[in-house]
Amino acid sequence: MRNSNGMGAAAIGSLGLIAFVVVGLIAFGARTLNFYGLQRYQGPDLARSAIPTVDSLSGSFDPVADLELQDALVLIDTGHNNGFDEQEMDVFLGRLTSNGAQVEFVGGSDLIEGLRGASALVILAPSSDFDQEEIDAIEGFVDKGGRVVVVGEPTRQRSVDGINSLTRAFDIVYRDAYIYSLTNNDSNFRHVIYENFGGNSVITDGLEQVVFQTAYPLAVESEMAIIEGDDSTFISTSELPGGVVAAALAGNGNFLALPDLTFLTSPYNGFADNDQLIDNIVTFALSGERVYDLADFPFFYEGRANLVYQDVVTLNNALADTIDLRNSLSSAGVDVDLVESYSSQQNVLYLATYAQSVDSEAVAQLAADGIQLSTEEIDADEEDESTSNGGSSFGDDDEEEFSPNSIIIRGVAQLQSQGTVIIHLVTPQSGQVEDEAEADAGDEEETSDEEAEEVEVFEDPHQVLILADDEEVLAEGIDILLSGDFSECLTTDFTAVCQVISSDLAGDDDVEEAPEPTPGIGADIGSVLVVADDIVSGDSETINAEGVQSVLDNELGGEALLWFTSSDGLPTVDDLFAFDAVIWSNGTYCCDGITEDHQTVMSEYLDGGGKLVLSGTAIAFETRETDFQSNYLRVEYLDFGELLSIIPQGHPVSENFDDEVFFAGEVGSPDRVLPVGSTDIVFTAGDDSPAPGEAVVTAYADGSQQVVFSTFPIGALDEFDLTTLLDSILTWFSAP
């Protein structure tokens, strides 16, 4: 009966529930497993990285130098597109000046000229090539004990060609790469720490660590290296570490090559021992044992010098040259006393004819240095032979009416005395060098050797002796001395014997034609005042004015006087009228020059019929909306900006230029102006400039006053263009 009732409700319920659960679970599981595996993702339990700390590399420096005050001139090169600003070099320049150095910025031909009186030359990040003349001058400077510091800077120089054009002469090559270290650095892989110091040099005294911030590697002989990287240092263009040279000494220890400029600047000077290194570099620069020779005239004098003339007649006949001598000495900071007697204890510039100097101590000094005046006639065939036999000579006898026929330079040559001038520098070194030359010459001059050893050699005084057979030749000798060009003379380091043509010897037919007067200075414009409107000596105003004056004097053969407002003050109107024309030179910096006082002086000068050239960057900007600009410059300020070249506009001042003119020096950001009224445009901005065609040089004339206004310092033109421009301006000034 029970079975026949079929499935009970309870059973159905139970089975249904089981089916519900089982099928549900199967469905759940099947679907889930269709998508997901049995293992679920477990993310890593990884602690976050701690941020590493960076240690600071602090330096230690004892700021004072054991240096005694030095009286040395240090030149800073600005003529090779040098990649530095004066302001950023304050640490280094300050260290130089605080140790007594006089710092001058020089560019162009001033570099070679400046080396004559300098103790050291600093060349910072040059980008353009040194020409052969400059290289020769620097090599000669180093040979004479001058110190040269060359500093490269990979982040500023476009290539190493410029710097290598000089350093190759000293067997140093800057490689076109930079040094880095991934491990031994100060916060950056390019800021490499150097701890390997070689050589026994003042440069590396007291150094344990220095840091160069991006440095050139140097290719040098190993013995020249003084600072090297460790085994972790690489050259950027090479895969091999180690052996990287960062600084080297050459030129018998007088030529220092450094790889980085940044460490000389703040704040990098304070890293590691960089300050000590800077001090060492200053010590190096100021401690050279500079030897002077004739070519360095007049810079070997210190303080005062006696200009000794043996006879009044001599002074009268060579008056112009004597004045030049005096001016040259003055420009070198040497005060001159005119005296009649020679003293071996003082600085001396001695002028005399052979006959006038018979009894002179100066001639005795000459003899002591191996130069004898002899009555012996010489055969032309024997002129170049070294001999001392025969005839009498100054130094041997005291013949009153002695008239020498020949000059004997011991161990070098015998020359005829007619038309000959002897220029001889007496220094402690001169005696030493001559003795060495004599040793080389052999034993045949034993008598003279003994004589030389008996003559006292002075420690401090420098004496230049100029002797000639007549006063005209003497004047020629002075010219040669002033020019420093002894290429036409027979020379040793301290002696030059030059044959010059005397009118007495040459006769009327052989008299040289007087040079044709140059159109400018040689014509109506006889004298020019060049005003360097400088704040401090050596700034861009000074450099530009000196460039202008140099061209006026040397290229145009004129008489130009430099006036430095930094030392001479503002010239008065009377000062300006003392000259036929005035060139007022402002520099490349803005807003420090043409004040109201300046404008007043120039206005009054022009009102009185003056002839003025005013040049410099930012003058129009400084004087905008002033009466001076509208009534005297007669232009209106437009704007300022980059100026790459200028284009002549056919004005008499620019008519000698055929084509676009480019600059050789810095011009900053010159103004552009709009001429007002009858003002003419002389030059416009070149095509590559931001505003081509706008006026950058103008000229105005009204029958009495004449003014040329240049919105850039004209000293930035190269020598040829500057000569052409000044020639044209002065011709225009002198035209009716």
Binding site for another protein (CB under 8 A): 1, 3-9, 11-12, 15-29, 31-32, 34-41, 43-44, 46, 48-54, 56, 182-183, 186-189, 191, 267, 270-271
* Minimum gap (Å) between residue 50 Cβ and another protein: 8
Packing angle, helices 471-483 and 319-331, rounded to 10: 20
- Torsional sign, CA 122, 127, 128, 130: positive
Closer residue to another protein in complex, CB, 267/515: 267
Distance between CA atoms of residues 682 and 645, nearest Å:
13
3 state SS of 398: coil
* Minimum gap (Å) between residue 241 Cβ and another protein: 12
* Minimum gap (Å) between residue 261 Cβ and another protein: 15
Closer residue to another protein in complex, CB, 18/69: 18
Distance between CA atoms of residues 263 and 163, nearest Å:
18
* Minimum gap (Å) between residue 474 Cβ and another protein: 59
* Minimum gap (Å) between residue 262 Cβ and another protein: 11
Q: Which residue, 287, 282, 284, 290, is CA-closest to 96?
A: 282
213 within 8 A of 263, measured Cβ to Cβ: yes
How many CA atoms, within 13 angstroms, populate the side-chain half-sphere of residue 5? 7
Going through 568-634 in order, the beta strands assigned E by DSSP cover 581-585, 611-615
* Minimum gap (Å) between residue 243 Cβ and another protein: 20
Q: Which residue, 282, 302, 281, is CA-closest to 292?
A: 302
Closer residue to another protein in complex, CB, 84/301: 84
614 within 8 A of 633, measured Cβ to Cβ: yes
* Minimum gap (Å) between residue 30 Cβ and another protein: 8
* Minimum gap (Å) between residue 239 Cβ and another protein: 12
Estimate to the nearest angstrom the gap between the alpha carbon of 554 and the chain centroid.
19
Closer residue to another protein in complex, CB, 46/64: 46
Q: How many CB atoms lie within 10 A of CB 601?
A: 20
Closer residue to another protein in complex, CB, 17/506: 17
Please, what's the b/e burial string for 612-649 (b: 16 or more CB within 10 A of its CB; e: otherwise)?
A: bbbbbbbbbbbbeebebbeebbbbbbbebeebebbbbb
* Minimum gap (Å) between residue 20 Cβ and another protein: 3
* Minimum gap (Å) between residue 215 Cβ and another protein: 16
Closer residue to another protein in complex, CB, 47/312: 47
Going through 342-386 in order, the beta strands assigned E by DSSP cover 348-353, 371-374
Closer residue to another protein in complex, CB, 29/63: 29
Tokens of 576: 């300006």
Closer residue to another protein in complex, CB, 242/677: 242
Closer residue to another protein in complex, CB, 49/252: 49
Strands 527-532 and 559-564 come out as parallel
Distance between CA atoms of residues 613 and 595, nearest Å:
17
Closer residue to another protein in complex, CB, 2/252: 2
Q: Which residue, 643, 601, 597, is CA-closest to 618?
A: 643
